[in-house]
Amino acid sequence: MGMQVGGGSDEDEVVSAINTTPLVDVMLVLLIIFLITIPVATHTIKVSLPMDANQPTRTMMNNIVIAVTPQGQAYWNETPLTSYADLESHLEHVAAENPQPQIQIRGDQAAKYEGVGKVIAACQQAGIIHIDFITEQPHG
């Protein structure tokens, strides 16, 4: 902190030094505020999260693709399913296999959640272990 005391003959002389003390004070206050609020905003509930890497799904011959159209019609590979019971019976046969094939769900973007949700519920009820969702990369 600098201070000029008397002795100067020219009182109109311009002081060219910048006083940075107010800037440092404001920055310290902001730093303290961020240090207090960020942990509260990001870690409200402590949970142990699973570790996983996002990897592309490998298409194998025994994988089963279930497609859901915008109208809610489900297809087992390329065969249309007539009812929810038909889907369940197919899934029960697949669940008995060892090892179980992967179920890959291809839901149309315009399909209602209900159609895809029924497929997921049927997979859970049949005891299917591995379900994948087939998506496209965003165009960028």
> Which phi-psi region, left, alpha or beta, contains residue 122 (left: φ > 0; alpha: ψ -120 to 50)?
alpha
Mean pLDDT of 18-34: 90
Residues 97-135: pLDDT tens digits?
888 888 988 888 888 888 889 999 999 999 998 888 877
Query: What local confidence, expressed as pLDDT, does residue 52 receive?
Result: 45
DSSP state of 87: H
Full-model pTM = 0.57
Domains defined along the chain, listed by start: 64-133 (3.30.420.270)
Residue 28 in this model has a pLDDT that exceeds 90: yes
d(CA 84, CA 75): 11
Average pLDDT over all residues of the chain: 79
Span 61-74, mean pLDDT? Answer: 86
